[in-house]
Amino acid sequence: YNNIQTKQTNEKQPLTPCPQTPPDLNGTMRLLVPAQETLEEVAQQLSWLRLLEGGHQEPLDCRARYKIAIIVPYRDRLSNLCTFLLNMHPFLTKQQLDYSIFIVEQFDDGLFNRAMLMNVGFNEALKLRDFDCFFFHDVDLIPENDRNIYSCPDQPRHMSVAIDKFNYRLPYVDLFGGVIGMSRNHFQLVNGFSNMFWGWGGEDDDMASRVKAHDLNITRYTPNVARYHMLTHAKQKANPKRYEKLYSGRKRFKTDGLNNLEYRVKSLKQLPLFTYLLVDLTGRR
Ligand code: NGS
């Protein structure tokens, strides 16, 4: 019976646009914990959502306004990934979004390059679909408030304003790390992220400079809405050269980013909970 109803709804074309503010949001999100930390188990726990291949979802009874890609740079954090997926899918579905989750894994075990993985995610996602905007999302951050809406922002939006680990206070006013949202056009305008930040730190500050250098503004929701829980994990090695790269970054906005990105896709799979990319990053470390 349910299936028949669903089908009828889908056939009623054209659907009306989804409301700007989705119904049934209540300002909270209970943290869900995986029964077991395996992707199979998480898929099982989420079977009620009826996700489409590649971690894609779209609202059934209205027409979503935007096509959204969630890009998650990743390596060796399965436990965080399970919790992330278990919480993000219901959260984004409730917001009536048309979205797909991309997990972009760095193949080698040398220094991690978060920014370059996000550039790769952007590039590869656009080969699959004409997404309108992108959320670049750390795997260890889980939203706590369902009114923290992941719809396309007019101006670049810093999402993870208030994180429990930092007593829900923004560490500094120009912070543009953790979770950010940008339209496809704005991301292209700033030439994406720098590819030169190997190891922890600085790549998000460089992106903040790119945004400002192009006369764009970083926007934020209020801290009582833009709240996140940070999952625990081992610390990463900081990049000793990050300040040097950051201070000289401005000279390279035009030449270092999407337009000189080099990598090899070793694997691309449409899995039940996400689109998976395993990539070999090239470039001087
Ligand atoms: C700054 C880093 C950023 C980082 C931010 C917050 O110092 O990349 O701290 O880090 N910039 C540099 O190192 C130049 S956090 O408090 O989340 O660990 O995002």
* Tokens 């292209």 belong to residue: 188
Six-digit token pair at 155?
């101006």
Residue 31: which residues within 8 A CB-CB, separation 6 or more? 83, 87, 142, 144, 229
Distance CA 68, CA 82 (A): 21
**For residue 75, what pLDDT is reported?**
97
What number of other Cβ atoms are within 10 A of residue 270's Cβ? Answer: 14
ipTM (interface pTM)? 0.94
Position in ligand 1 atom list of the atom nearest CA 204? 8
Say yes or no to pLDDT of 284 above 90: no
Q: How far is the CA of 171 from the centre of ligand 1 (A)?
A: 9
Nearest CA to ligand 1 atom 14: 202
Q: What is the pLDDT of residue 2?
A: 46
Closest ligand 1 atom to residue 238 Cα is 13
Q: Which atom of ligand 1 is nearest to the CA of 201?
A: 8
Q: Whole-angstrom Cα distance, residue 146 to residue 21?
A: 11
Is residue 161 pLDDT above 60, yes or no? yes
Report the first-to-last Cα separation within the chain, whole angstroms.
57
Higher pLDDT, 8 or 215: 215
Q: Looking at this protein, which amino acid is placed at residue 182? A: M
d(CA 103, ligand 1 centre) in Å: 22
How does strand 227-230 pair with strand 141-143? antiparallel
Instruction: Quickly state the pLDDT bin for 234 (edges 50, 70, 90).
Output: confident
Mutate to test the pocket of ligand 1, among 204, 230, 241 (most ligand atoms within 8 A of CB): 204
Task: Report phi then psi at 192, rounded to 5.
Answer: 65, -155
Which atom belonging to ligand 1 lies closest to the Cα atom of 177? 19
Which one, of 135, 261, 246, lies nearest residue 187 by Cα?
135
Atom of ligand 1 nearest to the CA of 171: 16
Q: Which two tokens stand for residue 231?
A: 């999952």
Q: Give dist(CA 206, CA 202) in Å, integer.
A: 6
Compute, in angstroms, the gap from residue 201 CA to the centroid of ligand 1: 5
Write the Ramachandran bin of 68: left for phi over 0, alpha for psi from -120 to 50, otherwise beta. Answer: beta
Q: What is the pLDDT of residues 101-120, one digit of tens each?
A: 999 999 999 999 999 999 99
Residues with CB under 6 A from ligand 1: 171, 175, 177, 201-202, 204-205, 242-243, 246
Confidence of residue 128 (pLDDT cuts 50, 70, 90): very high
Q: How confident is the model over 11-23, as a mean pLDDT?
A: 82
Output the pTM of the full model. 0.94
